[in-house]
Amino acid sequence: MPSDIRLATEEDLPELIKLWRSCFDDSEEYIRFFYRENFNRISVPVYTLNQRPVSMIHLMDASFADGADEYPVRFIYAAGTRSDCRCKGYLRSLIDLAAGSAKENGYGLFLKPSPALTGYYSALGFAEDSRFSIFTAGPGEDGRKDIAFSSLAPEEYNRLRDRAFSGRPFVKWPDAHVRWCVDENAFCGGRTLALKFDENVHFLMACPSGNVLRITETDLGPEELRSVSFALCKTFGVARLEVYLPEDAVGEDPTVISSFVFNAPLKHTYANLLLF
């Protein structure tokens, strides 16, 4: 590892918080919450000047699963450089190092780029792999009335999730990551719920934003969502649903990129719980 690149330690947290705030719009409260829950389970390579981090990436362990086969991957999150240090190749150095390690050690990398950065990551060897289909629905008619809602613990959510998506290539997360996603969703005012009807248990992670309920993930399909939309709108006090589904779920051209991959062991892998 080059002398100006190292892994961040807890002593770097004050500088990491400043660096994060210079790159993203998150509050200091949220950033401290993120590091408090995640720092000990992730890796944070940093590029330093005078021993102070000026560029960073966050690496989280996961796997690409297809049936009984699982392949190690790492998710790149919150990659950024201090505003006065940009366009000098510091972030590229971090990503090049991560990519070299991935190739050498036989694992993949993936990330969710903003639309403005797809060209940047393409130039670094990443390629688009999957997209979300965005499904929307209003409250409709009264819909079904036999739905039982209950809170869902992270471990149970993950168990239901693994079962629901096991028929396709998908990103499989450790319980600790799902626990963070559930906690982050609650921090933002959302709820993670089990829905029971027709003797089946379904799951969703949802957060209201104005008069829209954004459902980050669910195993419900379009027809099932239409049947429960009235109950969900009433429960959350919103006027419509906006749901992120696998790219083949709606039957229309998917519009939102969910992942770019590097050295990926599988293709068209459903990627979610990507920390929106």
Residue pLDDT, tens place only, 228-249:
999 999 999 999 999 999 998 8
Q: Tell me the percentage of the chain whose pLDDT exceeds 70.
A: 99
Which homologous superfamily does the CATH classification assign to the domain defined by 5-131+257-262? Gcn5-related N-acetyltransferase (GNAT) (3.40.630.30)
How does 176-194 read in b/e, with b if 16+ C-beta sit within 10 Å? bbbbbbbbbbeeeebbbbb
CB 112 within 8 A of CB 153: no
Looking at domain 133-255, its CATH architecture is: 3-Layer(aba) Sandwich (3.40)
What is the average pLDDT value for the chain, to the nearest integer? 95
> What pLDDT does 34 receive?
98
> What pLDDT does 128 receive?
96
> What pLDDT does 75 receive?
98
- The predicted model gives 205-224 an average pLDDT of 97
CATH 3.40.630.30 domain range(s) in the chain: 5-131+257-262, 133-255
Q: What is the pLDDT of residues 252-275, one digit of tens each?
A: 777 789 999 999 999 999 999 997
In sequence order, which residues have a C-beta less than 8 Å from that of residue 85 and are 6 or more positions away? Answer: 49, 54, 55
pTM to 2 decimals?
A: 0.94
Q: Are strands 127-137 and 256-262 parallel, antiparallel or unpaired?
A: antiparallel
Decide: helix, strand or coil at residue 134. strand
